[in-house]
Amino acid sequence: MAHSSRTWTGARTPQAIKRVRQAASRRAVLQPRRTAAKTYVAKALTSAETGETEPTREALVVALSALDRAAKVGAIHPNAANRRKSRLMLKINAALGGEALAAPAKAQRQTGKTAAAKQAKARIAAGRASKAKGEQTAAGKARAALSRSSREQAAAAATAVKEPPAATTSTTRAKAPATKTTAKAGSTKAATKAPAAKASTSKAGAAKPSSTKSSAARSKPADDES
């Protein structure tokens, strides 16, 4: 015996049954909006046939607002709402003989500000990506990934090359004071040696007269003897 009747053509799986429930609840909410929009449009056309301007203007405003509300909640497509409003205005103007009536109301925003901002950012990012990389194919994505990896490697190599000079500069900076200190030490040694040299020269100068005196003393007795 079959699990269910063979003539059953409805939903069988849990997912399909859930979709049926969702469609029923959605219809319960949206269908009254569609019906209201049609009713108000028909009333506006009926009022236009009478030839009275003020009642027709009021009925037109109500019909336009009903179409906008239906488009806002998703009962009808926004383009369909705009088309119906345009046709309604043409029919009413023709019925009244071209008398001035209220212009169609401005289409209300279909999405919130945050959603519109996100959509704008997504469009801008998509445009930039298409300009920079072209069509997003598998080959294009692979090329983009390869170029990105090559750029990262180049950046890493550049940083690695830049690091050793920094170390060498630090060592040279450390060595510079040492050279200065050695130069100072050499200058002090030279200064100490210079007085010593002067002292030795002064001693030699002082010793020379004594030697001349002794030689003169030695030569005098020789003269006396002669």
**Cα separations in angstroms, 49 against 56, 92, 199:** 9, 8, 137
Q: For residue 53, how many other CB atoms are within 10 A of its CB?
A: 14
Q: What are the structural domain ranges in the chain?
A: 14-110
What pLDDT sits at residue 107?
A: 53
Ranges of residues in the chain whose predicted pLDDT is under 70: 1-5, 98-111, 130-137, 139, 163-226
Could you give the angle at the alpha carbon of 31 between the alpha carbons of 29 and 35, nearest 5°? 135
**What CATH number should be reported for the domain whose range is 14-110?**
1.20.58.110
What is the per-residue pLDDT across 162-221, written as a single tens digit (0 to 9) for each? Answer: 765 544 444 445 455 555 555 455 555 544 555 554 545 555 455 454 555 555 555 555
Identify residue 199 by its one-letter amino acid code: A
What pLDDT sits at residue 158?
A: 84
What pLDDT sits at residue 226?
A: 41
What pLDDT sits at residue 135?
A: 52
With a CB cutoff of 8 Å and minimum separation 6, the contacts of 72 are 108, 110
What pLDDT sits at residue 51?
A: 84
What pLDDT sits at residue 207?
A: 47
